[in-house]
């Protein structure tokens, strides 16, 4: 049997992190088994659907690198990007639903009532063999027992979610429905519909929810709920994917930084954890730092430049050589690209702004006189590279009878406006002698 799975989001204008994880688990399962991953946009609620809302989903999946495999042969309104097929849109599948509704009516599995069409629901308990949750026996509640039948086509002619979801799953030959646990309560209805069509239901795998760190349910407004914010906040897609893999799925080994190829190799539905997963921003940040560390430099450069530009720094005014050299001093030092403007923004401004009151304290009389001496030594250097800068600074400290730090700190502060940052000797080399002397002069003058 070839595995066929699908991600079936409704376009709400928002891709929830839980939805992204559902998409990821489906994708991983398809890639692990060599099956197909289908994207199906459940857009029958025309009032809420807009092209922008669909784009949020497509862009989110593209950002994560979750490519989908097939689509209808007729054109999509959104038009697939290059190399992409699909997705399917429920709004274009009305005739398929019409035929299936006819079939249910003909078989006596559905009937018309007050302009709507209702499904004749089974009165027997439905047993769900869920691959993650285990066996779930769904009995009709007392209230349902009185009238368990439910509407499948509203009086305005719109088929409802349960019906089109099942028709598509059977038409598309879906073998495994991997979706959020919030849908477990719908599954008895879905299984009954499959049986009415005379088709074996797919295997179900309901994934536990993602909770906030405090254990409450993650809603749209909670921090971290929207996938779109991760790119904006300087996370790498591979780190988010790695984090989402570990959020509810656990490989047997303890290793946490996992290349995607390794996750694909190891992935399986039985290892999905049965309990709800708590969102852990600190772990995500750590993983992001680990992934940034191993990023090819050109990709580091690209993301770094984006983060700096987003913060309003104009990189176009600097040479490629300068930008590369500056950002090389930041490799391995940040956990999120959004830290960069504060960490390395000093490279890309003409003048640092010192806040007189606070900053004067950091550069007291003692520090200033040391800085004057260091400036003198620096001005005599012909070759202004990290090694010569280091030797000069250390010799100056020795002859002044102070610790190296007594020169390093005021110098860093004068040249970067920060008390920590990239390696001092390297950053001074990148800034260049002229800029370094200017910055030292200016700090001495401003903080007089």
Measured from the CB atom, is 10 or 438 closer to ligand GLU?
Answer: 10
Segment near ligand GLU (CB under 6 A), from 8-16, 220-228, 256-264, 271-279? 8-16
- Rounded Cα gap, residues 125 and 188, in angstroms: 9
- Give the interface segment with ligand GLU, choosing from 5-13, 74-82, 231-239, 419-427 (CB under 6 A): 5-13
> Taking the complex as a whole, how short is the minimal distance between the CB of residue 198 and ligand GLU, in angstroms?
21
Residue bearing tokens 């719908």: 186
**Pairing verdict, β 203-207 and 176-180:** parallel
Toward ligand GLU, which CB reaches closer, 8 or 163? Answer: 8
Shortest spacing between CB 165 and ligand GLU, in angstroms = 5
| Interface positions, 149-168, toward ligand GLU (CB under 6 A) | 165
Kindly indicate which of the ranges 176-184, 254-262, 320-328, 384-392 contains the residues binding ligand GLU, using the contact rule CB under 6 A: 176-184
Binding track, positions 19-58, relative to ligand GLU; x by CB under 6 A: -----------------------x----------------
Which residue in 3, 4, 5, 8 binds ligand GLU (CB under 6 A)? 8
Nearest to 300 by CA among 333, 342, 258: 333
Strand-by-strand arrangement of the 88-89 sheet: 4-7, 36-41, 88-89
Q: Which of 179, 206, 335, 439 binds ligand GLU (CB under 6 A)?
A: 179
Judged by CB under 6 A, the number of residues near ligand GLU is 8
Contact 160, 154 (CB under 8 A): yes
3-class state of residue 207 by DSSP: strand
- Say how far apart CA 84 and CA 76 lie, in whole Å: 12
Q: Cβ of residue 22: shortest distance to ligand GLU, in angstroms?
A: 7
Q: Applying CB under 6 A, which part among 175-183, 219-227, 255-263, 413-421 lies near ligand GLU?
A: 175-183
**Cβ-based nearer residue to ligand GLU, 7 or 230:** 7
Segment contacting ligand GLU (CB under 6 A): 6-14, 236-244, 248-256, 412-420?
6-14
**Distance in angstroms (rounded) separating the CA atoms of residues 206 and 132:** 6
C-alpha span between 296 and 417 (Å, rounded) = 29
Whether residue 116 contacts residue 153, with contact meaning beta carbons closer than 8 Å, is answered with yes
- Minimum CB–partner distance for residue 266 and ligand GLU (Å): 24
- Least distance in Å: CB of 90 to ligand GLU? 9
Interatomic CA distance for residues 132 and 232, integer angstroms: 33
- The span of 7-15, 107-115, 306-314, 362-370 binding ligand GLU (CB under 6 A) equals 7-15
Compute the least distance from the CB of residue 180 to ligand GLU, in Å. Answer: 7
Contact 228, 15 (CB under 8 A): yes
Q: Tokens 């598509």 — which residue?
A: 168
Nearer to ligand GLU, 16 or 375 (CB): 16
- Which residues between 217 and 256 bind ligand GLU (CB under 6 A)? none
Give the largest CA-CA distance in the chain: 100
Q: Can residue 10 be called a binding residue for ligand GLU (CB under 6 A)? A: yes
Residue number, 67 or 181, with CB nearest to ligand GLU: 181
Closer CB to ligand GLU, residue 9 or residue 422?
A: 9
State which residue, 3 or 8, has the beta carbon closest to ligand GLU: 8
Which C-beta is closer to ligand GLU: that of 138 or that of 183?
183
Q: Residue 422: name the closest of 324, 340, 301 by CA.
A: 340
Least distance in Å: CB of 170 to ligand GLU?
A: 12
Q: Rounded to an integer, what distance in angstroms lies between the CA atom of residue 42 and that of residue 54?
A: 10
Single residue of 3, 4, 9, 53 touching ligand GLU by CB under 6 A: 9
Residue 403 is a catalytic residue: no
Terminal CA-CA length for the chain: 79
Q: Which long-range contacts (CB under 8 A, 24 or more apart) does 89-96 make?
A: 89/40, 89/41, 89/43, 90/40, 90/41, 90/42, 90/43, 90/44, 90/164, 90/168, 91/41, 91/43, 91/44, 91/46, 91/49, 93/164, 93/168, 96/167, 96/171
Name the catalytic one among 107, 220, 223, 398: 220
Positive or negative: CA dihedral 324, 299, 337, 57: positive
The catalytic residue positions are: 220
Residues that bind ligand GLU (CB under 6 A): 8-10, 42, 165, 177, 179, 183
């Amino acid at each position: 049997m070839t595995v066929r799975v699908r991600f079936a989001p409704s376009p709400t204008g928002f891709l929830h992190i839980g939805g992204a994880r559902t998409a990821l688990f489906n994708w991983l399962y398809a890639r692990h088994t060599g099956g197909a991953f289908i994207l199906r946009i459940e857009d029958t609620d025309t009032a809420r659907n807009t092209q922008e809302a669909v784009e949020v989903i497509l862009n989110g999946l593209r950002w994560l690198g979750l490519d989908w495999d097939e689509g209808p042969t007729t054109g999509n309104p959104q038009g697939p990007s290059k190399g992409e097929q699909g997705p399917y849109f429920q709004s274009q599948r009305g005739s398929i639903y019409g035929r299936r509704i006819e079939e249910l009516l003909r078989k006596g599995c559905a009937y018309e009532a007050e302009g709507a069409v209702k499904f004749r629901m089974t009165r027997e308990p439905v047993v769900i063999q869920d691959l993650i949750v285990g066996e779930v026996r769904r009995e009709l509640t007392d209230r349902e027992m009185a009238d368990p039948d439910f509407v499948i086509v509203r009086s305005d002619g719109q088929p409802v979610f349960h019906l089109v979801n099942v028709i598509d799953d059977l038409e598309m030959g879906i073998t495994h429905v991997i979706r959020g646990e919030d849908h477990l309560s719908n599954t008895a209805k879905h299984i009954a519909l499959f049986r009415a069509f005379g088709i074996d239901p797919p295997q179900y795998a309901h994934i536990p929810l993602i909770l906030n760190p405090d254990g409450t349910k993650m809603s749209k407004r909670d921090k971290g709920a929207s996938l779109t914010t991760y790119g904006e906040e300087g996370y790498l897609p591979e780190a988010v994917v790695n984090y989402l893999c570990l959020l509810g799925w656990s490989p047997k080994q303890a290793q946490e930084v996992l290349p995607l190829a390794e996750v694909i190799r190891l992935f399986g539905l039985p290892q999905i954890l049965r309990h709800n997963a708590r969102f852990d921003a600190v772990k995500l940040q750590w993983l992001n730092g680990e992934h940034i560390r191993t990023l090819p430099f050109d990709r580091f450069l690209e993301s770094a430049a984006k983060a700096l530009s987003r913060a309003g720094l104009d990189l176009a005014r600097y040479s490629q050589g300068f930008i590369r050299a500056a950002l090389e001093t930041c490799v391995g030092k940040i956990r999120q690209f959004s830290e960069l403007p504060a960490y390395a923004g000093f490279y890309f401004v003409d003048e640092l702004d010192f806040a007189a009151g606070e900053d004067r304290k950091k550069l007291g009389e003692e520090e200033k006189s040391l800085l004057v001496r260091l400036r003198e030594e620096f001005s005599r250097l012909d070759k202004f590279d990290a090694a010569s800068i280091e030797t000069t600074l250390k010799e100056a400290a020795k002859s002044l009878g102070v610790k190296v730090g007594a020169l390093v700190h005021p110098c860093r502060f004068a040249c970067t406006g920060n008390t920590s940052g990239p390696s001092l000797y390297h950053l001074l080399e990148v800034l260049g002698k002229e800029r370094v002397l200017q910055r030292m002069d200016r700090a001495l003058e401003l903080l007089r």
